[in-house]
Structure 1
């Protein structure tokens, strides 16, 4: 309505005029006749002139898209048939110039007394502005949700990254690009005037391998972003070669249409740069740029923490390495392997250590230990204690004396720290092991048949505490290591984890030792690979593996050794089976039954009448007559005596069986104990039997 028209009405604006000024019109639809009256404002909303309208609903809806017409008719039909009194709908109308606009129809349905609809009265208004604004808001909200998700997921993934490798893995691993909302990624670190690419992820990005390490200059866009500290947003990736000619041969080989080059800056220090590549074109709106700059800040902070951690880690492990032995001496009669694994806790190094000490008379001392605490002070104390213990052991003192003096030394340092350790003197020539413990875990022994034992090694208080409490007693325990058996010493980090039972850790270690290869180095590697998840989780680990050289004899005179624990009821049966199988393998099956019977008699006598286990040796004597020799060694100095058992006696027949089956037998002193032996096979030429007179068994 023009100003003149308003003047004609005396300046008064009525309801119809107000609606028309707001592009709102009305309609009255007679359902019985099908005629619909629409005022001029309503026709304008539907894009029709007054002379174009014939009162038919189909003509009114002519400007609607067919799908929109079907949708509106469905809304009206549902309201009429459903008994509703009103309805509302938004429909898209094509203006004469092709501009899309939105029309809102609101109507009331008038019904007769029987409920039948006969008339619809309503309004139609131009809702283009509010619908457009609503779509904009919805699009904006959707973009904000996506951006928030990108930030949250990236922050969560990087929060668990500890090392630089962890950071790159979280960005390039499964789901990494999806978290960033990108199709490709390149990550570079600035080091000593060079820009080194440490991560590439995305299709065809391997073409950038030529730029893995380049001088940090402005010849490349990422280097320019790092040097200037300003991001570069590339809307047309294919045009990138114009500004950086060196990239021209590579741009066409990558399927991207846009990219952003972001400097990684933390605490005013340029750590490097990150490139995000996109297959879609992008104008990089203000909110997108803010998002990308925020991502760069998050990655930069994570990298800064990781770089600092790696530097601290290198310092800590370097300090620890200087405290441990530089080399392990070669030993006669055996092989030794050592391993040290540091926990992933920055400067929080532990005081775990190992050592191998040459001793007088061909013996060797082996030790693993752990100083209380996880800091550089613990590592320094460990270094002093290791040297002191090595000196005491090298003087030839007994194991109990070595630990007593080491405890006194630690207490005199006045550090308020204690230490645990297991120390053993090993005579590889005879297989004798004298072990002591100071509050530490006991060793494991892998037998020649793969079984793993946990010998009961007596012990005392931890070093330092033993002196403070006036109890420097460290009782020794003697073990026997037969040829081919392996002694395993370790610290608690290998078997103890927070929230888990240490017994389950010991069982896992025993299983790993049993299933591993027999050689010392190979077994140490096997334990490292098998238990790597335990190592590095929170505590250091020191490991020492000592194997006595196997003694298989010769092809003509083979030999086996086996240790039978007194507390192992299955050991007797296993030993009998091993003897029988060995004779079959050596081509002497005719002697297997007798050998198994005598093996049982010899071992039962030892296990019942002595303290401790027994070492069984089975060997072939090739000269002058090929016979089998069985020998059972124990630690008792009491020799067997012959008896004459009665008919109801349940024992006393062992030596009688020996006389009846063996060609020869006897007893020999062996160090602290004795060895009972017998030979099976052809009678000796002189017909002699027995090695000494006996009166009972």
Structure 2
């Protein structure tokens, strides 16, 4: 996984050479590949300002090694070197394994910053993702820096910072940037450095052969210091692997964004305004994009059509099938919306002919706002929920198979008349599945969440949906990167 050069080959002849007064160090030096830098070190770290002593030891030089005159046992020198190399390999393996376990771009950036800070001996840092192809995402993440601190750093001209020169694609960009050693330092850069309390920085590009420049990472030192040779070598190896991992996550993030955008465009851009009915909807799309959908459309004679549904599968194919199904249902609703059974029967025939390998659930309701009359039919879909001051109950709909699973679908419709001020809640089973509970318990939790809606917000369907989401899916599960879509549509009758 890691491209770590072979720094030394331990042969018997090295020990023989040492015994012949040649010296273990000289013997090992003969085995070193020509042109390869010495990147591993003695096991003890010299004191360097701003460097965390807990970080593995710096690169060795020839002067730091014991000379033959010191009468150091050859085996001890070799053991020290080998121990240092093993420690380095173990550290890199652990850090890259932790990075490989991240599946979200933000988590990967945070892990990169923490690992890099440990390797170079810094306490703070930031990473800026700004792919050279201009397709995004553009993200800035900090370690030990508040949002306001990142804002101050961004006010420094890009050409005045090492990481800014990397992002601008300037040659010889990156590396150490010592504030005290630069007489011509940009005044704003010096001011921000003094304000945030850092005296030096070390920046590296995030680049891959396939994707080009992705961004830059920079770590900040509290004192005027820079990583020693061995630390630079280790963090360089880590960054090479991290850039490849980030490139894969960037592509995945772009795909997710595209699918989510398409799914949102296939859903209503806004809900219609119909007299005596208040509407609200909530939609949460999973990372791969799913086939859950909703619709609300005005019909002739002041009627209103409400629909929710779910197509099996996920990804672009499910999103495309969802779009086709929703568009077809709108057409059938306009032609024969007064008969929800006929609407779903036509939809069943269409799905069976055009999508023979796919099934779907759907619920369609024909609403007459003035008399508060609703006629609905469902095909394998979860029952609606009525939320009011005097009752919170599920509507008993007839049992039926999902669309596409029978030769011909047909189930009886049913009628209900909500009282003034009551809200009819339609939803998809993704809302229940996100709870992680068995389906019967999920229904019970949904009922309890709806029953606990505070009285002051019962006249706002949007507030009702938000309360149910927060109660049923606590701790951010309503916004989590979950495989299940969530669709909720609420209609309050006045």
Same structural fold, with TM-score higher than 0.5 when normalized by the shorter chain:
yes
Residue 264 and residue 402 in structure 1: after superposition, are their counterparts in 2 closer, same or farther (change >3 A)? same
Structure 1 residue aligned with 2:477? 533
Q: What aligned pairs does 1:222-261 form with structure 2 within 5 A after superposition?
A: 222-226=163-167, 227=169, 232-234=174-176, 236-240=178-182, 242=184, 247-256=189-198, 258-261=200-203
Maintained 8 Å contact 2:284/2:478? no
Maintained 8 Å contact 1:161/1:302? no
Structure 2 residue aligned with 1:301? 244
1:489 lines up with 2:431 in the alignment: no
Counterpart CA distance in 1 for 2:354 and 2:217 is 52
Counterpart CA distance in 1 for 2:443 and 2:116 is 38
Q: Which runs of 5+ in 1 are unaligned?
A: 1-20, 22-100, 102-125, 550-697
Maintained 8 Å contact 1:424/1:434? yes
Q: Which runs of 5+ in 2 are unaligned?
A: 1-20, 22-65
1:433 lines up with 2:342 in the alignment: no
Q: Say which one has the larger Rg.
A: 1
Instruction: Report how far residue 185 of structure 1 moved.
Output: 0.6
Residue 505 and residue 381 in structure 1: after superposition, are their counterparts in 2 closer, same or farther (change >3 A)? same
Structure 2 residue aligned with 1:452? 392
Counterpart CA distance in 2 for 1:270 and 1:155 is 23
1:317 lines up with 2:257 in the alignment: no
Counterpart CA distance in 1 for 2:397 and 2:107 is 42
Instruction: Report how far residue 282 of structure 1 moved.
Output: 5.4
Residue 240 and residue 395 in structure 1: after superposition, are their counterparts in 2 closer, same or farther (change >3 A)? same
Residue 225 and residue 132 in structure 1: after superposition, are their counterparts in 2 closer, same or farther (change >3 A)? farther
Structure 2 residue aligned with 1:327? 270
Structure 1 residue aligned with 2:323? 383
- Residues 205-263 of structure 1: per-residue CA shift (max 9 Å, x gap): 955634427776x4421133452576744385522455667633344445445532101
Given candidates 393, 401, 404, the residue that maps to 1:461 is 401
- Residues 586-642 of structure 1: per-residue CA shift (max 9 Å, x gap): xxxxxxxxxxxxxxxxxxxxxxxxxxxxxxxxxxxxxxxxxxxxxxxxxxxxxxxxx
Residue 231 and residue 546 in structure 1: after superposition, are their counterparts in 2 closer, same or farther (change >3 A)? same
Q: Which has the higher contact order (CA 8 A, sep 6+)?
A: 2
- Residues 376-427 of structure 1: per-residue CA shift (max 9 Å, x gap): 2222222222122122222244111111111112222244222111112223
Residue 266 and residue 352 in structure 1: after superposition, are their counterparts in 2 closer, same or farther (change >3 A)? same
Instruction: Report how far residue 162 of structure 1 moved.
Output: 1.4
Higher strand share: 1
Given candidates 481, 488, 492, the residue that maps to 1:543 is 488
1:369 lines up with 2:306 in the alignment: no
Instruction: Report how far residue 278 of structure 1 moved.
Output: 3.3
Structure 2 residue aligned with 1:480? 417
Structure 2 residue aligned with 1:149? 91
Instruction: Report how far residue 438 of structure 1 moved.
Output: 0.5
- Residues 446-485 of structure 1: per-residue CA shift (max 9 Å, x gap): 1323x5212221132222333xx23x22211222311122
Maintained 8 Å contact 2:398/2:413? yes
Counterpart CA distance in 2 for 1:445 and 1:221 is 61
Instruction: Report how far residue 498 of structure 1 moved.
Output: 9.5
TM-score by length of 2: 0.73
1:275 lines up with 2:218 in the alignment: yes
- Residues 320-373 of structure 1: per-residue CA shift (max 9 Å, x gap): 12221222111222211112111013xxx2221111132344332211001122
Aligned residues: 416
Counterpart CA distance in 1 for 2:146 and 2:180 is 15
1:290 lines up with 2:233 in the alignment: yes
1:399 lines up with 2:340 in the alignment: yes
Instruction: Report how far residue 203 of structure 1 moved.
Output: 6.1
Structure 2 residue aligned with 1:16? none
Structure 1 residue aligned with 2:161? 220
Given candidates 263, 277, 300, the residue that maps to 2:205 is 263
1:512 lines up with 2:454 in the alignment: no
Maintained 8 Å contact 1:234/1:240? no
